[in-house]
Structure 1
Amino acid sequence: MKVTIRFIGNLLFILILLAALFSYAMFQGGFVSWFLFYSYLPILLYHLCLLFYPLNHWKVSRTLPRRIVQAGDAIDVTIHLERKFPLPLYYGVVEEIMPATWNRLHHDYAFLNEPDHVTIDRTVKKMKMIGFKKQLEISYRLENLPRGELELQGVRVFISDVFGFVKKEHIFPVQDELIVQPNTREIRLLDRAVSFEQGQQVVNLFQLENTNVATGVREYAPGDRFSWIHWKQTAKNQSVMTKEFEQARSDSLFILLDACIPKRKNPLAFEASVELTLSLIKKLEKGTTNIELLTVGKETKEFTLRESNQGKSDIRYYLTKIQPDGDGPFSGALKELMLTEKRMERLVIITSTVDDFFRQTIQELRQRTAQIVIFYIQGSKFILEKEQDMIAQIKKSGIAIHLLTEKEWLTTPLEVSIR
């Protein structure tokens, strides 16, 4: 409708201007008035050609060097325009049509206290002198890409004459998808006897096997460790014998990610939670038999990563597109999960929200879980005094809870404790 109204308005403007010049020449007479009228005729002809020029017949395409990148990366984009009839054009404006999801940055977590830094205006408009060219290329660079499935929806092309009397535009539905995967950070797992300010010894407690209690001996089997050999029985039986150990109640490590919408929104805190989740999985996958990831939001999603790496690509893809969507608080969703989920011996909870109901739920969960580790990710200015009291109460109850603020995220590698 707007296009039709604009077309009619431009056409009327050209015809009225022509009629005015003709009337002036007829009534005024003389060389000057007719000279002005005939001098305008070529301009009139050009304006009419431009008015009826089929801009929608242009061919527009886009070139992306990569379809899968990491959060924070930059990518060069090239838009190709091709037309068959080289009508001379003074200039053209090419604009990318981007959804609101592009108006974010993958920012440094040093800005956990300033989440507004992640929002920008990514408007991309380029003006190009066209002339008689049949083929044009417009290049631009997208930097600091945010995590997610990002879709370029189309290209808007705007053309005009020198005086701006005739203006035309058309949107070309050129769709391209860019998958921006979350980053992984190098992690150093600290000894259970130290804190963030003490010591540097590295140990992964979740990778320790239950090899302290030997319940018997058996013949050696391929894959048994050298340290498991029972030398006395080997010498006695004249064959290699290995120790049998008490079986652990569960060989699975559960990582629980809070994907609920918090009362105090901090997009950077959630991005840090996703990055920590993927980084922990990458760090622990080699030494843990099974890793199970549960994301708790509007619905609970569960992924299992086994020794065969089955499910690893599914986890990475899901963490690429996940956004907070849970309607209620995380503590309520965690309470419901307790009633339906099987017993979890080893549990890591990654969240950016702590409240009193969460504290009560964790203490109840402690009765049925052998080991719980909580990572609370938030900017230091967002942590209220009552939340600090809750963290202290959780620690007193024997549950490990570690606070990761902008100070800890500035450390490379990121030092965390899973005690």
Structure 2
Amino acid sequence: MSSRLIFLLAGVLATWILSIATGRQLWYNMAYLLSAILALSFIWAQLSIRSLTVRRQARNRRTQVGQFAEEHMELTNRSRVPKLWIEVEDYSTLPWHDVSRVVSMLRSGRSFSWQIRTLCMQRGRYRLGPITVRSGDPLGIFEVKQHMPSSSYLLVFPSTVELPFFEPSISEMSGGETHQRRTYQVTTNAAGVRDYLPGDSLNRIHWATTARLNRLMTKEFELDPTSNIWIYLDLFAGVEVKMAWQQPSPEVGIFALDGQFRRNNLELPPNTTEYGVTAAASLARYFLLRNRAVGMSSQGRTREFLQADRGERQINKILEALAVVEARGTLPFSQLVATDGMRLNRNDTVVAISADPATEWGEALQDLQRRGVNSIAVIVDGRSFGRAVSYTPLLTALETANIATYILHRDEPISDALSDPYSEQRVGRAVSALRQEW
């Protein structure tokens, strides 16, 4: 209850008491006036919130870190009574997404619309809405509100960076042996022809053989012999290292319109999980753009497992999974590598991403290496995030097994970190030291 309403109610009560006690016409007139103001203000406030419609339209339901989330809002007055003021309050969870507005003097049958463009700075699943609409009488005595519970969700994919200098050697990325397994998918490897079966696509019919044999014949395909790429991401809760971080406000002005500027100046949260997720997304995109089949496996709050596949659809599926993963898993990374690695074929390639300094997952990669599964290790350096740990035993084990290893440091561009393996960095530092001695 507002102070104005309390004051008005007190005035109405006092004037009626005085008018009855004294019988003077002046107090009766004052009582009638204040009572009329109270009644009219109440009726006006009730009418001010009725026949209002709010239309909310998102440009898309999926976007990516470094891109904009855009919405179009439209407020329409469908009553015959003008609305002196309307406050729209939004409860979206997307940071810096300022939808709330105060609209003044919305005439009958008129609409007021506005655009919202928010630069997405952190991956995740965010709620857009609900909305509360407030209004009242001209004197501010009564305030009424209407809650509109409808809401939708926006999925923000993790950012991906270009990897121009990430070039795993041929021995690390060798092609596999021919699988010689038939598939219903159309691949580049035609295996032969067979009789047409109901449900076969017309574009698989081999017309030359059909004309020669005088019956419909369908082409058969085999799986591509190129090895699959598997990305294993460590989401074990005991491994994550966080630092205090507050999401900065989005860039405004002319620089906010430059997509290249945004991508080059993105600030990742100081969190080992965020660095690992960004590396996983970037590596998946790197291999998929080179027509490699990529799969993914992780165990966080939920189990995420995507079969190896190619194409833009697979990129979207991987980014969609990585958008919501959290380091809340109870399965150590070494067990994930060991159990999921059992289903891999010879000459497949595993890219293992972890901030765990334990040597167990390095030993699991060694076991895969002995079976003919190529391995690449990406270590997120927890020391650069403030944890006092040593990665020397793990690095020694990986180097002994001849497993290519890359190290991600806080505030270091991921494209730079993935440009040179750890062993080459050591050689480079040794050469530089020798040159300085000479």
For normalisation by structure 2, the TM-score amounts to 0.65
Q: Distance in 2 between matches of 1:191 and 1:312?
A: 20
| Aligned position for 2:286 | 283
Question: Does residue 128 in structure 1 map to residue 103 in structure 2?
Answer: yes
| Aligned position for 1:333 | 336
| Aligned position for 1:85 | 79
Q: What SS class does the counterpart of residue 387 from structure 1 fall into?
A: coil
Equivalent residues in 2 for 1:97-116 (5 A)? 97-99=91-93, 102-103=94-95
Question: Does residue 317 in structure 1 map to residue 311 in structure 2?
Answer: no
Displacement of 1:260: 3.5
Name which of 107, 118, 137 aligns with 1:142: 118
| Aligned position for 1:381 | 384
Q: What SS class does the counterpart of residue 415 from structure 1 fall into?
A: coil
Q: Distance in 1 between matches of 2:341 and 2:384?
A: 31
Q: Distance in 1 between matches of 2:366 and 2:14?
A: 86
Question: Does residue 270 in structure 1 map to residue 273 in structure 2?
Answer: yes
Give 5+ residue unaligned stretches, structure 1: 1-5, 104-120, 193-202, 212-221, 224-247
Displacement of 1:171: 1.3
Q: Distance in 1 between matches of 2:313 and 2:119?
A: 33
Q: Distance in 1 between matches of 2:362 and 2:172?
A: 23
**Percent identical:** 17
| Aligned position for 2:295 | 292
Name which of 33, 55, 65 aligns with 2:59: 65
Deviations 1:32-77 (A, max 9, x none): 5455334434422322204543736421111323333221222343
Displacement of 1:125: 3.3
Equivalent residues in 2 for 1:17-416 (5 A)? 17-27=11-21, 33-50=27-44, 52-53=46-47, 55=49, 57-87=51-81, 89-99=83-93, 102-103=94-95, 124-130=99-105, 132=107, 134-190=110-166, 206-207=172-173, 251-266=227-242, 268-285=271-288, 287=290, 289-297=292-300, 298-306=302-310, 311-338=314-341, 345-378=348-381, 380-382=383-385, 384-398=387-401, 399-409=403-413, 415-416=419-420
Give 5+ residue unaligned stretches, structure 2: 178-187, 190-223, 243-268, 424-438
Bigger shift: residues 33-42 or 371-380: 33-42
8 Å CA contact retained: 1:188, 1:414: no
Q: What amino acid sits opposite 1:130 in the alignment? A: M
Q: 1:324 to 1:342 in 2, by over 3 A?
A: farther
Q: What SS class does the counterpart of residue 20 from structure 1 fall into?
A: helix
Bigger shift: residues 165-174 or 86-95: 86-95
Displacement of 1:348: 0.9
Q: What amino acid sits opposite 1:273 in the alignment? A: G
Deviations 1:298-341 (A, max 9, x none): 424132124x6674443343334444442333334334434565
Q: What SS class does the counterpart of residue 408 from structure 1 fall into?
A: coil
Q: Distance in 1 between matches of 2:351 and 2:77?
A: 58
Q: 1:12 to 1:309 in 2, by over 3 A?
A: closer
Deviations 1:81-114 (A, max 9, x none): 2233354554332111224xx34xxxxxxxxxxx
8 Å CA contact retained: 2:176, 2:227: no
Q: What amino acid sits opposite 2:53 in the alignment? A: K
Q: 1:204 to 1:250 in 2, by over 3 A?
A: closer
Displacement of 1:350: 1.6
Q: Which has the higher contact order (CA 8 A, sep 6+)?
A: 1
| Aligned position for 1:242 | none
Q: What amino acid sits opposite 2:305 in the alignment? A: K
Displacement of 1:359: 4.0
Q: What amino acid sits opposite 2:43 in the alignment? A: C
Q: What is the number of equivalent residue pairs in this alignment?
A: 349
